[in-house]
Structure 1
Amino acid sequence: MAIEVASLPLPASADPSKFVDFGKEVKGIDPGNLTDDQFKEIQELLYKHDALLFRDCSLSPEQQYALTKRFDPASENYGHGNNKTGSTVKSILHPDLKTIPRVPQVQLIGNGTVYNHEGLATANLKHPSHTTFHKTQVSQIDEDAGITRYYRWHIDAALYDLSPPKVTTLYGIHVPHGKRQTIRYDDGTGDELEVPLGTTAFVSGKTMFDLLSPELKSLAVRTKVKYAPHPYVWMAPARAMPTGLGIESEGRELPLEELPPWEESKLKVLPVLWKNPVTGNLHFQVHPCGVMELLVEPLPQGAKREGALYPDGAHLTDIKEVRELLYKMQRPAIAPSLVYPHDWKEKDLVLFHNRGVLHSVVGAFTKEQVRAFHQCNLAASDDPTGPTADDIKKYA
């Protein structure tokens, strides 16, 4: 049966002009049993469209791991390191992940208690809640009325030692049904977005770059971010902004000397912009919560200096300045009309280009609403590629 491709079911809130190339539903193929030719087609589709949806799939943990690994055959370990998040109690990821024992690259995530699941006798799952991570929270009255927030906009990556995964696969096994919820941005804009219960929200890193002014494009193409050592432990005491797009600058991060042992050589310094290996597009790919410093290259010779930001280059170490600058660059792309909130069905498989999109957990469940998903991403065999000399010449 030939592979069929259809547009994703966009919500009424989405601006269709911004989703012309983003996301496709793939039909007529079993993602757990792809031939080499079929996989090549799927791989190209993913990099062209950044997110692929397969409905009504039957996928074992072994098949999910094998599919994920095909995108980077030299990769092996779960993106945060096999079994490390579960044992690192201070990590902000600690409550969210349970490892499948026989396939440690696949994680069980969700909400509520799951019994006798893939070698786990009992798994107590906790859906991440903004109430444990944001500086402010919606009131209980509002939460009962269906008001919620994005939890944390991010890229799946350890951001220390290991390279960011190329692809994440997310498979819905048990999806609870309930009333739709409304994301409230609570940042003074009045922005809101109605979403399905427990949606995963996606935004395009390409769109994030395309929306920037010429001055900010020039800055982005010249800038690298330096992430904190063990960033999920470092950020754990801190609190996030109400949009889930970065951390409030209150000095609550764990001091570097109190972190688990770390090495300077293992810190991640990555480009702000990651180059798509198929389209050549530039994607703004920054995990704002983990960034510690910005390193800006000077303008290339002959570039227009008038109005340019940091024309002679800069090393920004003031974390408040760093965060405010990144927020200014990233916030436009999470506007309600630019968000794809996936409406999960049981046996949905979503593949997303982890080097091309940002995503966020959304919403809140009751204890009785059991949700079970399998997630797999693998630390890549290399770091992302940044802008080329021609890209810098074009935008700087």
Structure 2
Amino acid sequence: MVFALSTTTTEVDKPKIITMREAYTPPKANSSNGRIVPIQHAAESKANFGAEVYGIDLNHFTSADFEFISDALHRYKLLVFKEQPEMLMPQQQYRLTSCFDPDETTGGFAHGADPVLLQEDGVTIYGLPNRPAINVQPQVHILGRGELPPNHFDFPAGFKVKGINHADFHIPPHLPQEERDQGASRFYQWHWDGSLYNIPPPRVGCLLAVRTPKGPDVTVHWGDGTGRTMKIAPGATAMVAGSQALELLDPELRNTVMHSHIEYAPHAFQWMSSARSSQLGHIIETEGLEKPLDELSPWTKDKICIYPMVWTNPVTGEKSLQVHGQGAFKLYLKDTPDGEEKIVTDLKEVRAFMHRMMSPVLSPENIYAHPHQEQDVILWYNRALWHSITEFPESYGPRVMHQCNIAASDHPTG
């Protein structure tokens, strides 16, 4: 499987990938001590998902704990594990994540094999500057910005994770640096996790907060001419529910998306790497800046991902609008299951349709911006939520997160 933004590594260079056959099986127990407390959203919020979990030590969870977690996750879509006695170990973060897909046997990272990032003092670190992998469990990556804590696994002293910068990706006008230093922020990219080519998207995502930025709330600016803003905690992960996105569509459009599909670009992140995003971070602007298909890494038609626009929760039956606006390449639109299909290939039309689908839910009252607390773990159902990272002033200090997501055993089928 080709990782769209990587160079090829040799068999000798590749880190060991623990497979599901080698993965940990939690000890059996009759019942779980887990306790659910639904997140109390602000009075003005219309967000309708999320719960806190107490009473489960994720470093020592049992099979009964996992049954409790799995049921709760499919119902609440986002779980926040509080009062963890110790930092979640990377091996156990992988084990927790992998339990959601017992049929997955490769144990691979959702974006494919990582390249070598650096070699120092006999230690090889894999990944990218903004997403280095932890050697002891290479499916677990470090996200955020700033210097890692001392003696952080195999990383050399002073190692810094590269952060995001909307000025490198969004169309102008960008927020002036002096305003950003005072707490002006952007949503970087609204998405669900997945490679969008060949590799099935993860069922779940998992984030451990190791270090969080310290400072006043930041103000996210939409930048779309509406003047909308939203106060959130620095370094928060913003989320919206795909079910709510579907509900907010007008009846005619909702009927269409229920029967329609999206074709994503081959090596989509490589394809869009030279293009620019809207200021809201939900679609690519049509400027003709995408990489030509014949200049991408080798690809084949049989590995292109064509997904339904609406995905179904296997436990609750709830339907969610799950679309990736920036990777969309072609649309297959139908008003009925057996109706005539309209194929849209013009990128400007594709993106106009994506904007029409995505923009209604991307309003402050529908967004939950999770304020990470150190040592807490969040787990979300990747096939029912969209999320975006957000910017914060560098003076607030580092943001260090351990993320694990694993390629699924199947592609979404609706």
Q: Same fold (TM over 0.5)?
A: yes
Could you report, residue by residue, the CA deviation over 1:285-309 in whole angstroms, capped at 9, with x for unpaired residues? 11111110011235246xxxxxxxx
From 303, 307, 326, the counterpart of 1:289: 326
Distance of 2:116 and 2:268 partners within structure 1: 12
Output the CA distance in 2 between the equivalents of 1:255 and 1:178: 43
Match of 2:83 in 1: 56
Deviations 1:327-375 (A, max 9, x none): 1111111110000001111001000000000000001331771221100
Counterpart Cα distance in 2 of 1:11 and 1:196: 14
2:50 to 1, 5, 23: 23
Following TM superposition, by how much is the alpha carbon of 1:34 offset from its aligned partner in structure 2, in angstroms? 1.9
Contact 2:256/2:335 (8 A) holds in 1: no
The ranges of structure 1 where at least 4 consecutive aligned residues each deviate by more than 6 angstroms after the TM superposition are: none
Check conservation: 1:56, 1:346, Cα contact below 8 A.
no
Look up the match of 2:169.
133
Percent sequence identity is: 36
- Distance in 1 (CA, whole Å) between partners of 2:38 and 2:64 is 22
Query: Over aligned residue pairs, what C-alpha RMSD do you find?
Result: 1.8
Aligned position for 2:21:
none
Q: CA deviation at 1:242?
A: 1.0
Equivalences for residues 325-364 of structure 1 within 5 A = 325-364=353-392
Contact 2:215–2:396 (8 Å) recurs in 1 = no
Q: Helix, strand or coil for the counterpart of 1:117?
A: coil
The one-letter amino acid paired with 1:69 is S
The one-letter amino acid paired with 2:187 is Y
> CA offset at residue 263 of structure 1?
1.0
Corresponding letter in the other structure for 1:127: G
Mapped partners of 1:51, 1:352: distance in 2: 4
Distance 1:67 1:106 in 2: 12
Q: Deviations over 1:52-82 (max 9, x none)?
A: 0012323100000000000012331111113
2:28 is matched with none
Paired residue secondary structure (1:283): strand
* In 2: Cα distance, 1:154 partner to 1:234 partner: 16
The 3 A distance-change label for structure 1 pair 85 and 364 is farther
Task: Kindly indicate whether the alpha-carbon contact (under 8 Å) linking 2:332 and 2:344 is maintained by their aligned counterparts in 1.
Answer: yes
Looking at both structures, which has the greater relative contact order when contacts are Cα pairs under 8 Å and sequence separation is at least 6?
A: 1
1:163 pairs with one of 181, 196, 200: 200
Q: Distance in 1 between matches of 2:289 and 2:116?
A: 21
More helix by share: 1
Give structure 2 stretches of 5+ with no counterpart. Answer: 1-31, 119-126
Contact kept, 8 Å, 1:299 with 1:313, in 2: the verdict is no
Change (3 A) 1:208 1:293: same
TM-score (norm 2): 0.85
Q: Give the counterpart letter for 1:128 in structure 2.
A: I
Gaps of 5+ in 1: 88-92, 302-310, 387-396
Q: For residues 9 and 95 of structure 1, do their structure 2 counterparts lie closer, same or farther at Cα, with a shift above 3 Å needed?
A: farther
Q: 2:238 maps to what in 1?
A: 201
What's the CA shift string for 1:9-48, capped at 9, x where partnerless?
A: 4245523xx41xx111011111232221221121011011
2:207 matched to 1:177? no
Amino acid at match of 1:158: S
1:103 match: 137
For 2:93 and 2:252, the matched residues in 1 are separated by: 42
2:315 is aligned with 1:315: no
Number of aligned pairs? 368
Cα distance in 2 for partners of 1:297, 1:94 equals 40
Cα displacement string for residues 177-212 of structure 1 (whole angstroms, at most 9, x for unaligned residues): 112110110112221110011110000001000111
**Residue number in structure 2 paired with 1:226:** 263
- TM-score normalised by the chain length of structure 1: 0.89
Partner in structure 1 of residue 34 of structure 2:
3
Q: Is the 8 A contact 1:298 1:314 kept in 2?
A: no
More divergent stretch after superposition (361-370 vs 63-72): 361-370
Describe the superposition over 1:147-173 as per-residue Cα deviations: whole angstroms up to 9, x where unpaired.
Answer: 111000011101111000000000001
Q: Distance in 1 between matches of 2:311 and 2:195?
A: 17
Query: Retained in 2: the 8 A contact 1:85–1:97?
Result: no
1:120 counterpart letter in structure 2: F
Is the contact made by 2:212 and 2:400 (CA closer than 8 Å) also made in structure 1?
yes
